[in-house]
Amino acid sequence: MKRLISLTVLLALAIPALAMACHVTEVNGTADCDGWALCATVYFSDSVYSGTLNYQIIITDDAGNEVNRITASEVVSRDQGTCGGLYTYCFDGLWDGDHYSANGFHVQMCANLNGSTAQTDIFDLSCTVDDSQASFGSVKALYR
């Protein structure tokens, strides 16, 4: 009976350590009027070689209303025989059907690995218009 209790206690102590075996340590992102890019830094212990990276990008307006959400999962891995440590994985894409060019949008990017606690990056959406694409004729055509 004492062995069973000891084994149960050891297992209870080991589960949180196993959960921390790999996790996201940092999320960095960028976005413009057309799309987004997200990079997640993942910590792998020496015995873990892959995991499922879940990430989400949410755009909100100044009032806090959600206007777009992108959710995805990617399997990330490191080569067998490499040491554990920090590895960075980057993903990018276009907004789903919309072009966000007005001021007042905010972006939140979150990522977690295998359901661990998510790391978040929040910033204002920065859109710039390339002056070389705007001509007097194209501006005049907008007002016809």
Residue 140: inside a domain: no
pLDDT of 134 strictly over 50: no
pLDDT of 42 strictly over 60: yes
Residue 48: inside a domain: yes
Q: Using pLDDT thresholds of 50, 70 and 90, give the confidence band for residue 76.
A: very high
Domain that holds residue 123: 22-127
Residue 47: inside a domain: yes
Residue 68: inside a domain: yes
**Nearby residues of 13 by Cβ (< 8 Å), 6 or more positions away:** none
Percentage of the chain modeled with pLDDT above 70: 70
Residue 113: inside a domain: yes
Residue 8: inside a domain: no
Domain count, the chain: 1
**For residue 89, what are its two tokens?**
């994985």
Rounded to the nearest 5°, which phi and psi values hold at 2? Answer: -65, -35
**Nearby residues of 54 by Cβ (< 8 Å), 6 or more positions away:** 71, 72, 73, 111, 112, 113, 115
pLDDT for position 96:
73
Residue 30: inside a domain: yes
CATH number at residue 109: 2.60.40.10
